[in-house]
Amino acid sequence: MSIEFKSRNSRNQGDLESNTNETKESSSIIESLKYGSNKSSSLNSALASSNHTNTLASNVRVVEVPLKESAIWVQMLIGFVTVVKATVGTGILFAPYAIVKSGYSVSIVLILVYWLLNITCTLLMFQCADEVNDTYSSIAFAAMGKTGKILADISIIFTQLSFCAVFVTFVTKAIQNVISGIYDCAPAYIEYGTALITFIQLIVYIPMSCFGRIQSLGPAMIMANIALFVGLVTVFTYSALELATNISNNNMAEISYFTNLESIAGLVGTAAFLWVSGPVVISYYVSIADYNARKRFTWLYFIAITFVFILTVSFTFVSAFGYGKHTFSAITLNLPITIGAMSGQIFFAISILLSFPLMIFPVKEIVTKYIDNYWKKHNKNKIVEFIVPAEQIRQLSIQKTPSKLNTPIISQKNSPGKENLSPNSVNSKLGSKILLRQPSGSISFKIENSKKNYSYYLVKAAPSLIVIILSVVCCMTAFFLINSLGNFVNLVGGIFCVPISIILPALFHLMLFRKRISLPIFILDILLIVSGVITSIIVIWYTFSSWSVSNESICNIKH
């Protein structure tokens, strides 16, 4: 059987205070548990020490020892890289085409407007995270209950899957361009093997998507970041050289300052696609335990997103004016057939190929949670769960009951909003696993029977099986929409990116603070929600009304 205790609370600045000694003692307990029964004496010693300390400090509030300045700067550096990596993706490659189609003056205005909207909504989510101290889905649950959580989870799932489908399409196009370049645009090798190249990517996607921990993707992410940097530098270099050649020949590309309203709707979808980073940034923000470090990260986020804005505008405008009206939906299609340019295409393909598992990993986590909850719901006779609101119950004791597992659990009062769990004794001869874990916002003590049956392994394998099916679905979607890549990006921006980055953050903030919100912030939330809804409707309408199919290739320029 499994016994789990959870303490639900809303953590704010005061709640971020903790007992440093308590943390060290908990670590010693966990270390003892790692090594099994042969370390039982160490376990008993650690538990005795913990009980003694808890008795002495039951009524003492201990202020957290501040992090060292060097540790905070390491967190800030990692945070800066996280924000940049979460924001700079394939969207930047479609922006030059949107600028050419819509006009350069209105483009810079709209890109700036949606950049500001995303910053505003992210800052609102930071406030929500301080209130709930948990990730995007938990904020949604705190704001709107189960309905909000389902809404957030569906939005995240479909946003990530749509990004994955765009990734597959882009990789296929890049590989086809390299093959066409190698064979000097021979007709037999233009658009070569679309189905083969699309579905063979599953050889990489399926194994990496089945990894149990996101940390396992670390080496792949490092390679993906390096490849992305090399690819961006390659495209920017060739675009700058093209622009310099045009200037020296007095042959500047002609781009209108304004075209028409319908094209602007397409630009809005691309602009929304550019700045989606909220869920990732919120997750990192919540992972910072020190309150002062969180305040510093808020400023760092603004610096990082400003850096990304300057990078994006420079890249898109240099590329747009470099190729002018000949700009394709993805700027990589404009690269010349040279070894350097083809190498850039390969690096881009590698970067996106390795980024696919990271994009689909949040989907796997959400699916895993729902499967676990379903399993618990239908196995109540095997699982006992205690949920204690910290604001209602400050002290709880679970008395020993007749059982083969001699594991009484006592929760002692410590600092407000926190519960300490201390197992008095553990019968290690029964071969049971004892897990101590502390997710954000709760402390859990779980005892699981070591005997596993068929259904247990099926539950554990189900998320990976679902992710495999979804990977195949992404490849099928990419295959059917490969010649409508620009329209597909706009559609993703309107249906998924705008809600998850603008509408839902403002809605959750409004619902979470509805009883103590000021009038100006209330009006701001309403305006954000309304503007997001109008944006989605316009972009979706434009995308379907202007849907087109075109076989774009680097060979189009050569011919």
pLDDT in tens, 204-213: 999 888 887 7
pLDDT in tens, 73-91: 888 888 888 888 778 877 8
Identify whether 307 is part of a domain.
Answer: yes
Range of the domain at 275: 69-372+459-558
- Across the chain, which has 559 residues, the per-10-residue mean pLDDT values are 42 40 42 41 43 46 57 83 80 85 85 91 92 86 91 89 89 88 82 89 89 73 85 90 87 75 75 81 84 88 92 90 84 85 88 85 86 77 49 41 42 42 40 38 46 72 89 92 81 86 93 90 94 89 80 64
What pLDDT is attached to residue 299?
92
Coil vs helix vs strand at 168: helix
Identify whether 306 is part of a domain.
Answer: yes
CB contact set of 381 (below 8 Å; sequence gap of 6+): none
Strand partners, 423: 409
Phi, psi (deg, nearest 5) at residue 2: -130, 125
Neighbours of 189 (CB within 10 A): 16
Neighbours of 314 (CB within 10 A): 12
Neighbours of 322 (CB within 10 A): 25
Identify whether 30 is part of a domain.
Answer: no
Number of domains in the chain: 1
Alpha carbons 296 and 323: distance in angstroms, whole number:
41
Neighbours of 423 (CB within 10 A): 20
- Residues composing the chain: 559
Alpha carbons 475 and 209: distance in angstroms, whole number:
14
Identify whether 439 is part of a domain.
Answer: no
The amino acid present at 224, given as its one-letter code, is: A
What pLDDT is attached to residue 380?
61
Check: pTM over 0.85? Answer yes or no: no
Pairing of strands 396-398, 2-8: unpaired
What pLDDT is attached to residue 218?
73
Identify whether 287 is part of a domain.
Answer: yes
What pLDDT is attached to residue 438?
41
Identify whether 219 is part of a domain.
Answer: yes
What pLDDT is attached to residue 485?
76
Alpha-helical (H) ranges within 183-277 are: 194-200, 202-209, 218-248, 261-274
Identify whether 40 is part of a domain.
Answer: no
Q: Is the CB of residue 214 less than 8 Å from the CB of residue 471?
A: no
CATH code of residue 315: 1.10.4160.10
What pLDDT is attached to residue 281?
86
Q: How far is CA 34 from CA 24, 37, 425, 519, in A?
A: 15, 9, 16, 53
Identify whether 176 is part of a domain.
Answer: yes
